[in-house]
Structures are given as C-alpha cells and as structure tokens.
Structure 1
Amino acid sequence: MNLKQLQYFLAVAEEGQMTAAAKRLHVAQPPLSYQIKQLELELGVTLFNRLPQGVTVTEAGKLLVGYAQQLTQLSATAENKVRALAHGITGTINLGTVSSSAGVIPNPALLKWLAQHPDVQLAITEGNTYELLDDLHKRLLDAAVLRTPFNAQHLVCRYFPAERMAAVIPKRYTQFEKRRQLRLSDLATLPLIKYRRFNELFHVAFLEAAVTPTYIMTCDDARTAMHWASHQVGVALVPRSLAETYDGGDVLIRSLADHRFETRLALTTTTEALATPLVAGLMAQFKQAQPLDKFN
C-alpha cells in the first residue's frame, strides 16, 4: 500500500465513479482501475461495490477512508514543513481553532506578522479542544488555539489572560439590567443553555453551592449557545470574550462572580513543530497577545 494508491482510492470514493476519478486525477482509467485492484489484493478485501452506474464504498472501504485521509494529509504537511525549513518563513501553517476563540484571535500582532510574510498561508481547522488536541499529537496540526482546562503535558503553550464566564441573558429578564455580575443563586430559576465544554465545571460549582440549575439545552459550540440566547430561548453560559464578539444588542451580558468560572485561551504546539521557523514565528506573535481586562 503506497501513497499514490491511497490518493487514487480517495478520489474514487469521493467521486463514486472510476471515470470521474480518473479525470480528476488526470490519469487514464485503466491505470487507475489497476492501482485500486492491486490495493484490494494487497489488503485482501473488496473496497468498492462495482455497479453499472458507478461504485459504492464497502464497509472495509469506509474504514480505510479515514486512515487514508489522515495519511495523505500528513504526507502533505510533511512536504510543506521540509520545504519551509529549507526556505525559512514560508509555507502553510495548519492552525486549529475553537469556536470560543473568535473574540481573541486574530490579534494585531499576528495580523502584522502575516502582512510581513505574504508567503505564509493559514489552513484553519475548527473543532473542540479535545479534537484539536488529538490532531496536534497526530501531527495533523502545527498549532491550535485551545481553551482551558486541557492536558498541557508535552505541549508548548502561550496563554492569554484569564477571563470570566458570562451569562448571556434575554432582555426580558429586566431584573438584571443594573447588575454587573451574577451569583450562582441568581441562575437557579433561569432556563440555561450550556456549552458542553464546561459540563464538569458547572456541575461541580452548582453542587457545591447547593443550587439546582434548570438546563434546557446543551450544545457543542459556544456560538450556538449565543444564537439561541439572542432568540430569547434561554440564558447562555459562555466565555465573556465570545459573548462580547457576537453580541447583537438583544441580550444582557453579565459576568459570573464565582472565580471558579475563569477560563483562558492558549496557543499550543508541540516541541517538534516549534523547531520549524514557520511555527516559531507564529508562536512569537502570541507573546504580545492583547489583554482581556475589558472582559472581566
């Protein structure tokens, strides 16, 4: 099994036709069919169901798709990094970002650095902290902006200042108009929209405060929580910087007074990736991260 076979396999799987895949790959169909057959013989499985109108991926083929995507991406990343090392600050940075980082990055220092290095490109992968951590360790990402808490062992981190979690409140709750911060007890009777990333944090805090919350929704993206709060469905509990960024003026944003609800973003990378001038240049810009005092 070689890289060319995996690239051919993915093209056929995505196109659903040998003819369309051959056209996409700029090869004749017989060599393509031959490589697919050789791959099947080597693995001892059938990867495609051959039909008059095209092909469908078998269960074995579906399993191979995920591995093939990782291997071809890793190959492209390795090629980019080797060339970047030889030529200095040039190439593509594979950067992961969590949804709740929108209020903090890109920061002015990063934008200035990108303007000074027009040959640098960013390939952004969005996901949650745990997904991006996994991709970092698999070398599929060069760096990632993650939100605490996470296991920082074997990682190089540049932390942004801590910020408070906030309650994003529909304006019909007029009793909070003159309040700057809310206590946990203030949330007891409110319909809460929870960002799944902080399940454990909220569970422990409410338990210790002897407060029984009413959750009406749990979601995987802080922007989704904001969206539902802005439609007056419930009170979203999200990082304050993100709340400020996506505030459309139809909600109240109030920090949570309990210091257990502090969180922070971090630009992270591995020691191996940091050895390249490209990633080192990126990490250096975040030593100058803008403070988040306005969000506390």
Structure 2
Amino acid sequence: MNLKQLRYFLAVAEEGQMTAAAKRLHVAQPPLSYQIKQLELELGVPLFKRLPQGVVVTAAGELLVGYAQQLTQLSATAENKVRALAHGITGTLNLGTVSSSAGVIPNPALAKWLKAHPDVQLAVTEGNTYELLDDLHKRLLDVAVLRTPFNQQHLVCRFFASERMVAVLPQHYTQFSNRRQLRLSDLATLPLIKYRRFNELFHVAFLEQSFEPQFVMTCDDARTAMHWANHQMGVALVPRSLAETYRGDHVLIRSLADRRFETRLALTTTPESLATPLVAGFMAQFDQAEQLD
C-alpha cells in the first residue's frame, strides 16, 4: 500500500465513479482501476461494490477512508514543512482553535506578524480541546489553541491570562442586577446551559453543594451556549472572554464566585514542531506577553 494508491482510492470513494475519479486525477481509467485492484488484493478485501452506475464504498472501504485521509494529509504536511525549512518563515501553518478562543485569538500581535510574513498562510481547524490535542500529537496540526484543563505532557505551551467562568443570564432575572458575582446556590433553580467541556467540574461542584441543578441543554460549542442564552432560552455557563465576545443586547454577565471555575487558554505545540522556523516564529509572538510553562 502506497500513497499513490491511497490518493487514487480516496478520489474514487469521493467521486463514486471510476470515470469521474480518473478525470479528477488527470489519469486514464485503466491505470486507476489497476491501482485500486492491486490495493484490494494487498489488503485481501473488496473496497468497493461495483454497480452499473458507479461504485459504493464497502464497510472495509469506509474504515480505510479515515486512515487514508490522515496519511495523505500527513504526507502533504511533511512535504510542506521540509520544503519550507530551507526558506525560513514561509509556508502553511496548520492551526487548531477551540470555539471559546474567539476573545483571545486572532489579536493585534498575530495580525502584525502575519503582515510581516506575507508568504505564511494559515489553515485553521476548529474542534474541541481533546480533538485538537490528538491532532497535535499526530502531527496533523502545528499549533493549537486549547483550553485548560488538558494533559500538558510532551507539549510546549504559552498560557494566556486566567479568566473566570461566568453565568450569562436574561435581563429579566432582575434579582441579580446589582450583583457582581453569583454563588452556585444562586443557580440552583435556574435553567442552565452547560458547555460539555466542563461536565466533570460542574458535576463535582454541585454535588458538594448537595443540590441537583436544572440543565436544560448541554452542547459541544461554547458559541452555541451563548446563542441560546442570547435568545433567552436559559443561563449559559461559559468563559468570560467568550461571553464578552458573543453577548447579546438583553443579557447580564455575572462571574461565578467559586474559584474552581477559573480557566485559561494556551497556545500549544510539540517540541518537534517548535524546531521549525515557521512554528518557532509564530510561537515567539507570545513569548513576552504570556507565561511559558
């Protein structure tokens, strides 16, 4: 199994036809069909079910699609990085961002750096902390903006300032109008919108207070929590920077008094990626302003 076969396989899987895949790859159909057949013989399983109108990926083919995408992407990234190494700070930087990073990045320092390096392009991948962390270790990402807590072993991190989690409430909760902070007990009877990233943290905290909160919604994207809160559908529990970035006109933002509800973002890479001029130059923009851990 080689990269050429995997690229051919992906093209056929995505197009659903040998003819269309051959046209996309700028090759004749017989060599394409031969490479697919050789791949199937090597693996010992059919990857496609042949039909009169085209092909359909088999269960084995579906499994291979995910691996083939990772391998071809990693190959392209490796080729890009090796070539860029000879030219200094140039090329494509694969950047992962969590949904709650909007209040921190992009920022003026990054904009200034990109303007000074017009040959640098950003390829942004959005996901949750655990997904992006996995992609970092697989070398599919060069740098990722992650939110604590996460396992920092074998990583190089630049931490942004700590921030408090907040409750985003509809304005009609007038009992909190003159309050700067809320206790967990204040949330006991409110319809809460929870960002799944902090499931365990909230579970333990409420358990210690001996009451069961009323969660009306749990979501994977903190922006979704804010969207629902802005539409008066509940009280969102999210990081302050994100709340300030996406707040609507008719909500109150109140800090949670419990000190456990502090979090921070981290610009994160691996030691191997940091050895390249492109990643080192990118990370250096945060050296003076942020704490190296």
TM-score, length of structure 1 as denominator length? 0.96
Which residue matches 1:253? 253
The alpha carbon displacement at 1:212 in A equals 2.4
Which residue matches 1:101? 101
- Superposed counterparts of 1:124-273, under 5 Å: 124-273=124-273
2:248, 2:286 → 1: CA distance? 28
The alpha carbon displacement at 1:211 in A equals 3.3
Give the letter aligned to residue 153 of structure 1.
Q
Structure 1, 281-290 or 78-87: larger mean CA deviation? 281-290
The alpha carbon displacement at 1:204 in A equals 1.2
Are the aligned partners of 1:107 and 1:290 in contact in 2 as well (CA < 8 Å)?
A: no
2:288, 2:176 → 1: CA distance? 35
The C-alpha deviation readout for 1:85-127, integer Å capped at 9, x for no partner, is 1110000011110000011101211110000000000000110
Are the aligned partners of 1:49 and 1:55 in contact in 2 as well (CA < 8 Å)?
A: yes
Q: Give % identity.
A: 86
The C-alpha deviation readout for 1:26-68, integer Å capped at 9, x for no partner, is 1111111111111111111100011111110000000000000
The alpha carbon displacement at 1:147 in A equals 0.1
1:112, 1:211 → 2: CA distance? 49
The C-alpha deviation readout for 1:194-221, integer Å capped at 9, x for no partner, is 0000001111111222332111111111
The alpha carbon displacement at 1:173 in A equals 1.1
TM-score, length of structure 2 as denominator length? 0.97
Are the aligned partners of 2:159 and 2:290 in contact in 1 as well (CA < 8 Å)?
A: no
1:52, 1:253 → 2: CA distance? 60
Give the letter aligned to residue 38 of structure 2.
Q
SS across alignment from 1:123: strand
SS across alignment from 2:36: helix
SS across alignment from 2:203: helix
2:125, 2:204 → 1: CA distance? 31
The alpha carbon displacement at 1:289 in A equals 4.7
The alpha carbon displacement at 1:83 in A equals 0.9
Runs (4+) off by over 6 Å: none
Give the letter aligned to residue 211 of structure 1.
F
Give the letter aligned to residue 49 of structure 2.
N
1:79, 1:206 → 2: CA distance? 50
SS across alignment from 1:286: coil
The alpha carbon displacement at 1:255 in A equals 0.9
* Alignment size in residue pairs: 291
1:178, 1:288 → 2: CA distance? 38
1:244, 1:280 → 2: CA distance? 31
Give the letter aligned to residue 114 of structure 1.
L
The C-alpha deviation readout for 1:233-283, integer Å capped at 9, x for no partner, is 110000010010001212111111111000000000000000000000111
1:211, 1:244 → 2: CA distance? 29
Are the aligned partners of 1:73 and 1:140 in contact in 2 as well (CA < 8 Å)?
A: yes
The alpha carbon displacement at 1:179 in A equals 1.4
SS across alignment from 2:110: helix
Structure 1, 19-28 or 4-13: larger mean CA deviation? 19-28
2:288, 2:18 → 1: CA distance? 51
SS across alignment from 1:287: coil
Q: Which runs of 5+ in 1 are unaligned?
A: 292-296
1:8, 1:221 → 2: CA distance? 35
SS across alignment from 2:285: helix
Are the aligned partners of 1:16 and 1:56 in contact in 2 as well (CA < 8 Å)?
A: yes
1:173, 1:21 → 2: CA distance? 58
Give the letter aligned to residue 110 of structure 2.
L
Which residue matches 1:78? 78
Structure 1, 189-198 or 244-253: larger mean CA deviation? 244-253
Q: RMSD value over aligned CA atoms?
A: 1.2
Which residue matches 1:294? none
SS across alignment from 2:215: strand
SS across alignment from 1:150: coil
Give the letter aligned to residue 144 of structure 2.
A
1:159, 1:70 → 2: CA distance? 29
Give the letter aligned to residue 44 of structure 1.
G
Which residue matches 2:122? 122
